[in-house]
Structures are given as structure tokens and as C-alpha cells.
Amino acid sequence: MNIIFAIFLFINSILYSDNLSDAINYFKNKEYKKSKELLLKAIELDQNNFKAYYYLGIVSKILGDNEDAILALKRALEIQPNNINLYLELADIYLITGNTRLAEKLCLYALQYEKNNDKIFYILGQVYYNKKDYVKAERAFEKAIELAPENAYYYNLLGLLYMEKKDYNKANTAFLTAIGLDSSVYFFYYNLGLSYEKLKEWKKALDSYNKSLKLNPSFETAAKRAKFVSRFITKKSE
């Protein structure tokens, strides 16, 4: 009986290892549905494996299965309660689902242990932005940028904050900085176009929208703004 049980455990360990390894490979290749299927199989074979739950949480988040993501990450947190990254992953999902209270609570908890983690301030900035507490949001985004000055997305968020505050010159500068760091993101150019419109620099706005469309031809919102600005420029020149 002991031999049979040992063989059973051995086979299970091989199956688990194969499922998890294949799941991670699918994840790396952005085949998220296949990855999730194998992660669930891996968890059936070992319900106490941190890595399986962690990847399941991340994959579920990417697929928009937020409830599954929260459950998986909570289980991962039970296994590794001191893993600060898990608190931030959960905070990010709560932010996505509109639960800013829990997102803020998790970030402030993480901040007690990691004072120089840019992602904490990145998420907090969005929490305060959604609460329309623009003073705190600006401080949080600026701190995130101080800690990770190469992150283009932080500048983009700061630009959006300045747009809300109607400080269009600062918004324009932030969007230009974001593009300088990463020129491959279509909505950076769209946001830049919006700031140029507010500054009444119509040709630059049109150029920005066209660059956004070049990166993402199906971006209808940019197409509408480009059409509007183009007509405005034509009428202005008549």
C-alpha cells in the first residue's frame, strides 16, 4: 500500500510539474487562456503551491476575470503572507474594479514595509485621482516618477491629472516626456493631441492624432478628433 501511494505521489508530482511549466510558457507567449487552464490543473494536483496561485491571479487579471484573480492572489497571500508584491497586485485589481477603499488600504499597508516602491505610489496616485483628491494624486505620481524616472506611463498619468486641473502646459510637457521615453504607445499621442487642442495649437493636435492612428488605425476616438481638428483648420484658413 505504501509503495502504491508513493507511486501515486510520484506521478502526481510529474503531472504537476509539467502543467505548471507549460502554463508558465504559455503565459510568456501571451496565450493566457491556455495558461489558465493548465494552472487550474496544476492547482488540482497541489493546492498549496504559491507559484501556481500567483500566476493564476496574474493571468486571470489579464483576461479580465477579476473575481478569479482576487481569489487566487488571496490564496497566494495565505501561503506567503509577507510578499508585498501580492498586496500591490490585489490593490491594482481592486482599483480596476472600483474598490478604491481596499486599494488604498493595501497600498498604505505595503508602504509600511517598502518606502521606495514606485508601484505603491503609482496605484495610490490613481486612487486619489479617482477620488478627485488631486493634491494627493499629484504628490503620489511625482513620487513614483522620482523612484522610476524611466517609466513613461507615470508621466502620462501625471499629464492626465494636469488636464483635470486645466494646467494644459504642464500636461503637454508630461505627455511629451512620456513619448520621449516610449514612442510606441498610441494613447500617449492621443492625450498629447488633447493638450494641444486646449492650447489651441491645432496643427500639432492634428499631427498627434494622426500619429496615434498610425500606431492604432482602429482607434475611433482619435479618428473623430482628427476629423474635427482637420475641418477646423480648413475653415480657419478660408
Q: What is the DSSP letter of 184?
A: T
- Number of Cα atoms under 13 Å in the Cβ half of residue 53: 19
Residues of the chain falling short of pLDDT 70: 1-18, 238
pLDDT at 44: 87
Q: DSSP characters for 189-218?
A: HHHHHHHHHHTT-HHHHHHHHHHHHHH-TT
> Whole-model pTM?
0.84
Question: Would you state the pLDDT for residue 15?
Answer: 45
End-to-end CA distance of the chain: 93
Residue 165 CB partners (closer than 8 Å, separation 6+): 134
pLDDT at 35: 94
Distance CA 203, CA 145 (A): 30
Domains and CATH numbers, the chain: 1-81 (1.25.40.10), 150-238 (1.25.40.10)
Which pLDDT value is given to residue 238? 63
pLDDT tens-place string over residues 61-112: 999 999 999 999 999 999 999 999 999 999 999 999 999 999 999 999 999 9
- The rounded distance, in Å, linking the Cα atoms of 215 and 222 is 11
